[in-house]
A and B are shown apart, each in its own frame.
Chain A
Amino acid sequence: MSAPFPHFIIIDDSQLDCFIAEKIIQNTGTFSSVKSYTEATDALESIKDLGEKIDAVTIIVLDIQMPLMNGFQFVEAFEQLPSEVQSNYAIFMFSSSINENDKNRMENYPSIRRFYGKPISKDTVARMIEQL
């Protein structure tokens, strides 16, 4: 029996980028649910609320540069969660550009699977699912 399709959480302060990611993911048909947040703190709260109750892995599509709580700050807070919760999620970082500093920084966080350049595409969605 094959595993169920993953859930998707999109965290990006740009509403348009959230909308695009939702559409692209929905078009692939390979998803259980898609939800987006323009504020990382809201996403974190809902992950906390949900706890371990989850029927399939959730892919987090995470923007790096956001006001208030940026991508890295989100990952830091995420890695404080119980490991049973963390293991339900796979984080992928997205940005329109990246400097060496951010690249090096990413290596400090074990929960970040990979970095992709924006915009998200059908291919990126397929590749994220392959890596689960």
Chain B
Amino acid sequence: MEKQDKIKILYVDDEINNLTGFKASFRMNYNIMIAVNAIDAMEHLNSNPDIRVIFCDQRMPGKTGVQFFEEIRSRYPKPIRILLTGYTDIDSVIDSINLGNVFRYVKKPWTDADILGAINEANKFYVSNSLLAVKNEELQRAYNELDKFSYSVTHDMRGPLLSILGAIEAAQHMENISEIRDMLMMMKTSVRNLDDFIQSIHDYYNLNRGELEIKQIDFKELVEEQIRIFSFTYLVSDVKFNTSIIQKETFRGDELSIKLILNNLLSNAFKYQKKDNKDKFVDLNILVENGSAIIEVSDNGVGIAENLLGDIFNMFFRANSHEVGSGFGLYNVKVAVTKLNGKITVDSELNKGTCFRVTIQNK
């Protein structure tokens, strides 16, 4: 075993003979540090934050072992403290537990087995303690994330609702029926946005909690479904929707994730069109061969500014304020692609258009 891999143990005793004897007995298995007094011990503790176990003699000139432990406890809480003592009056036992918060008590003269046993137990305790600390940290981090998440979600859900509330308020003072109709149209958009948002949270939840369900994928069928979903959109906003599917082999994958990828990419492509453009189009090309599926969604819409491209897959990020987005869509796409061990790339130019390309492997 390399020296740095060995568990670090500190032994504090005013008798040099004890120290050298201790070191000689255990240095093969452990990285033993010795100190003749509290000052030397502090030095070791300062330069070795990873010391796991401290043995300390109770009877030392100037300071007892219990006093020493009591002193270092708050500054160095991690090492496990073990007291060595020759005499066993009940008061010093009580003190060592209550003041020094010792883990074990080893009687002098010790045997190798006493020490080895104590080290073993102490090390187990140390490991589970630090594991707990790591878990706690993870939990705290997850909790903070959840906090941010729920704030953003409440904000995004209340937004459209309060808009509608405001619209109702304003409409109550309106006499002009066409003005009220305009208002109703906008309220409808608001309701739709809220519904989309709730749907995307549902997707988010499914993606993060759900297991993959691998089955045969018929891309033609999937695309036909998307054509049905978007048929109203492309008719109303006069966008040409071209699809091409070449599936040369059977493909196995998680249908839910693939649907989600298709739906989000297409929905963005239809949404971020240039209003005044005469030939608006959305192209969907799927090629399945050599064990992988390449899905390409391109449009000649508003595009994404180059400096924002790096952020588009981040949760709640929105690169455009003309259309209402949840900031969830591409994040979900990214999660889905990652879950399928695939990759996604994007090419975009402001005012020219955007092309997303997803590659996923056959399972």
Contact = CB atoms under 8 A, between A and B. Distances in A.
Interface in B160-204: 161-163, 165-167, 169-170, 173-174, 182-183, 186-187, 189-190
A24 interface: yes
A97 B155 CA distance: 6
B320 A119 contact: no
B135 interface: no
Contact of B155 (A20, A24, A95, A121): A95
Q: Which of B162, B174, B187 has the most CB of A within 10 A?
A: B162
Contacts of A99: 151
A96 B169 CA distance: 16
A66 B173 CA distance: 28
Given A67-B320, A95-B155, A97-B151, A16 B186 contact: yes
B169 A119 contact: yes
A96 B167 contact: no
Q: Is the interface of B mostly helix, strand, loop or mixed?
A: helix
A96 B174 contact: no
Given A67-B318, A68-B321, A95-B155, A119 B174 contact: no
A16 B162 contact: no
A16 B167 contact: yes
Nearest to A66: B321
A119 B158 CA distance: 10
Given A16-B189, A119-B165, A27 B170 contact: yes
A23 B182 CA distance: 12
Contact of A17 (B166, B183, B317, B321): B166
Contacts of A17: 163, 166
B162 A39 contact: no
A132 B317 CA distance: 35
A25 to B, nearest CB: 10
Contacts of B162: 96, 118-119
B170 A15 contact: no
Contacts of A95: 155
Given A20-B166, A23-B170, A119-B169, 19 more contacts: A14-B159, A14-B163, A14-B324, A15-B186, A19-B182, A19-B183, A21-B166, A23-B173, A24-B166, A38-B322, A39-B321, A65-B155, A67-B318, A67-B327, A68-B318, A97-B158, A118-B158, A119-B162, A119-B165
17 contacts: A13-B321, A14-B190, A16-B163, A17-B163, A19-B183, A23-B170, A24-B170, A27-B173, A39-B321, A67-B319, A67-B321, A68-B318, A96-B162, A99-B151, A118-B162, A118-B163, A120-B166
